[in-house]
Amino acid sequence: MPATPDNPAFGSVEDVAERFAAHGYIADRRLATTVFLQTRLDKPLLLEGPAGVGKTELAKALAAATGRRLLRLQCYEGQDESRALYEWDYGKQLLYTQMLRDKIGDLTADAPDLASAVLRIEEQDSVFFSDRFLAPRPLLDAVRGEQPAVLLIDEVDRADEALEAVLLECLAEYQVSVPEIGTYTAKIPPYVVLTSNNTRDLSAALKRRCLHLFLEYPEAERELEIVRSKDTGLPEAAARHLVDVVRGLRALPLRKSPSISETVDWARTLAVLGVDELDPAVLADTANVVLKYERDLHRALEVLPRLADPNRTLPEPGHHHGHPHHTGHPHADHHHDHGEHGDVDGRAVRAAMDQQGRHDENYYGAPGAGPTHRTTPGAGQGARSFAAIARRRTD
């Protein structure tokens, strides 16, 4: 049953955590406390943090747990207020005008002059500027709707500051003003969740109206619990190992760190491939599930052997060890030649591999430059494909 002032949405902080978990969202106590306060104080909740940490999913879980309908305003650059508040249905107004042409003729038939006829038509303006012709967008729908709602204003940092200013009235008073009609005020205030990926700073006025929470990547145990809750099919030991690997990747200077949802996708991918135990080869073959930029992938391939097995001993000199692949892998052209060194300290080699900035700009290929010696997906994509893994596992 939707919450009312006499029937709060949640009885306690623990109730929030339990009901969120029942809908597949694992909330720690800090997050559950913030949601509990939001529902009791009727204040919007602003969630900031990197992409993929569960900000949007929280709004969905809140709607599911409270039985409210979910309304979503996806923000983007150049968005105007009509896409957020309301629009007039001009096509419908024109159609009605044509249908009522005869009536308008009757209305003005006995008018003594043009001015009188125009005045009589003006008196009918309210017919065409009424609820009948108003097309509500998410903000107005959340305020004037008969059913309680959760209003998700997603990626508000991508919207222009002009739209941010439009939000202030709605967030402070839960009302929307329509000049031609009047002001709509919510009978049951919506639960408002705003999300931001911090692509720009939000105004102090907007933040002042909201409860604020910064969501970071979760601790290992909580992330493992999230993976478990999604029923990925990956064995427990492999899932725990995968979470440790992902956390290791996030420690790298990547352009985009793996998100929680991508961790879940990786777990499902490995489960589909029938993986019971993680090894460097299978991680490298499927790393593109969580790493979406080529340079990020190259950086990860350097350290995946150590993340997969911290105690792993590197091959003897003369063997390819740039990537954790079997002999004959298409990436075999990328290797470290020790030349005259007869003895190599494996730990020293691994430490050298992890040094940032050890390659110049042309190692990965400078923009506009010609072919260089670098590791590219090239033909290796076939060997790293999911189908190739499946074939190798059935041979």
Number of residues assigned to the chain: 395
Q: Which of 3-17, 73-87, 197-211, 368-382 has the lowest mean pLDDT?
A: 368-382
Give the pLDDT of residue 144: 87
DSSP 197-250: --SSPPPHHHHHTSEEEE--PPPHHHHHHHHHHTT----HHHHHHHHHHHHHHH
Span 216-232, pLDDT tens digits: 999 999 999 999 999 99
pTM score, two decimals? 0.68
pLDDT band, residue 125 (cuts 50/70/90): low
Does pLDDT of 354 surpass 90? no
Orientation of helix 90-99 relative to helix 101-108, angle to 10°: 60
Residues 258/291, Cβ–Cβ less than 8 Å: yes
Buried b (16+ CB within 10 A) or exposed e, 48-59: bbbbbbbbbbbb
Query: What sign results for the dihedral spanned by CA atoms 62, 68, 69, 73?
Result: negative
Give whichever of 190-199, 327-336, 369-378 has the largest mean pLDDT.
190-199
Which comes out higher in pLDDT, residue 125 or 353?
125
Closest CA to 211 of 92, 94, 320, 62: 62
Dig out the tokens for 265 from the structure: 């996708």
Cα–Cα distance measured from residue 236 to residue 358, given in angstroms and rounded to the nearest whole number: 37
Closest CA to 266 of 248, 282, 250, 255: 282
